[in-house]
Chains A and B, each alone.
Chain A
């Protein structure tokens, strides 16, 4: 690998990571404005046009706030816990396929950090490590509310990982590959003579539903945000955290949300494909320029990703929270059997399809 390739690859990785990190300030603003819209009030609208600079003000506030470490905490774990939750959140996006490829000075660069042949497994594996940040943070805080929040978080994340994995298994069976890039390529085109785009959701509707519900639980979003219920646990696992340490937990949450949205886009919603327009047609419209195509694909991917994020926000301000026993019952008694049925039915149907 020459120096030029190395620097372009490094720049590519940084830009892809940066585009996901920037979901955080954007979502800070979107979340509050959408909350305002849903609750019939303006929301933050004073700082800049439409209150857009509110996010910047928030970030500056987080950086400049006093950053105390309470005396009763386990100092080492208390300090590394936010880092432990931010690192997996940054690592998971390595397998996300943002767009096809760019050609720079005669060399091809995939717009994906790495096309792993175990892509989905990698994302699930690294994503499951996010529990440690919450667990250690809650335990190190040496506070009953924090500990209870951490215990809830770990129980919840382990329980919901099972239906998440099983639902993803359905899609893996259908596409016959673990590589997310391969999956996106298989979703190019239309079904039933141009009636529907050939997207994963039309083959795996139940799988997608289960995946979506469990992704809410995995990222600790309402209605599954039991680890941080303000009514009973003050603020849950991050009760003792302030300033940038708290912001790191929040960044990790939003980045996980973005990665989950990206995963659903790639697995069930055709990734970078525009419905009814195949890649080849789009390429001819753009005059055969691969780089322009990649930019359009990038735009389409992020459009779908942000649509999912908006749905998350919509759900957050619409649904009430579960009780913990209800949450566990949903996972173990409803979602796991359903995802197993989905997997078995998919396998049987695929078997007969192959026989044909």
Chain B
């Protein structure tokens, strides 16, 4: 009984802080909301018996990716960016949330129909040895393809974001340069 209450609490925490991400006008508070939301998700994974996934969630997302988000937000001085222009109107908001909701319902249906973890018991997924055997024996090929795909995404993101010339400093005097090549 108490476990259900904990799951409810973690779910409410996740959703409430996710709302904070969207509704907050200060980018730093959005980042904090995202952080709390990720912790809620991690707690949910833990309560569903997958300690490994829960810890990895904290390690990768909360420990590294959101730190980078906060880093960028602080570096860019978002206070000047945020106040420009109005937010989207209520119609757009409704349309986007409604579409997202319907799509998530479809996704849920599809996931329920699919027989992903048919052979795997839910309990066993919590232990790393079982998980890694499944990942590196049965799903090795998709796993490796996915990592190559992620590498391609990283390289293309770099190509898109790369400035035309490297000594092109930002307009507000903030210039981010790498160390001058060679021995410095």
Contacts and interface: CB of A to CB of B under 8 A. Distances in A.
Contacts of B179: 325, 328-329
Given A77-B28, A117-B51, A139-B28, A124 B59 contact: yes
A154 B71 contact: yes
A118 B58 contact: no
A283 interface: no
Contact of A158 (B35, B52, B67, B128): B67
A315 interface: no
A123 B74 CA distance: 27
22 contacts: A77-B28, A117-B127, A118-B128, A124-B63, A125-B55, A125-B58, A125-B62, A126-B58, A128-B64, A128-B67, A131-B63, A131-B67, A135-B71, A135-B74, A139-B28, A139-B70, A147-B74, A151-B75, A158-B64, A158-B67, A161-B63, A178-B128
Contacts of A129: 58, 62-63
A325 B184 contact: yes
B51 A118 contact: yes
Given A128-B63, A161-B64, A121 B74 contact: no
Interface string B67-91: 1101100110000000000000000
Chain A interface size, as a band, is 20 to 34
A155 interface: yes
Interface of B: 28, 35, 51-52, 55-56, 58-59, 62-64, 67-68, 70-71, 74-75, 127-128, 179, 184
Given A129-B63, A150-B74, A329-B179, A121 B68 contact: no
- Mostly, the A contact residues are helix
Contacts of B64: 128, 158, 161
Interface of A: 77, 116-118, 121-122, 124-126, 128-129, 131-132, 135-136, 139, 147, 150-151, 154-155, 157-158, 161, 165, 178, 325, 328-329
A178 B127 CA distance: 11
A129 to B, nearest CB: 6
B52 A121 contact: yes
Contact of A118 (B55, B63, B184): B55
B71 A155 contact: yes
B86 to A, nearest CB: 25
A208 to B, nearest CB: 21
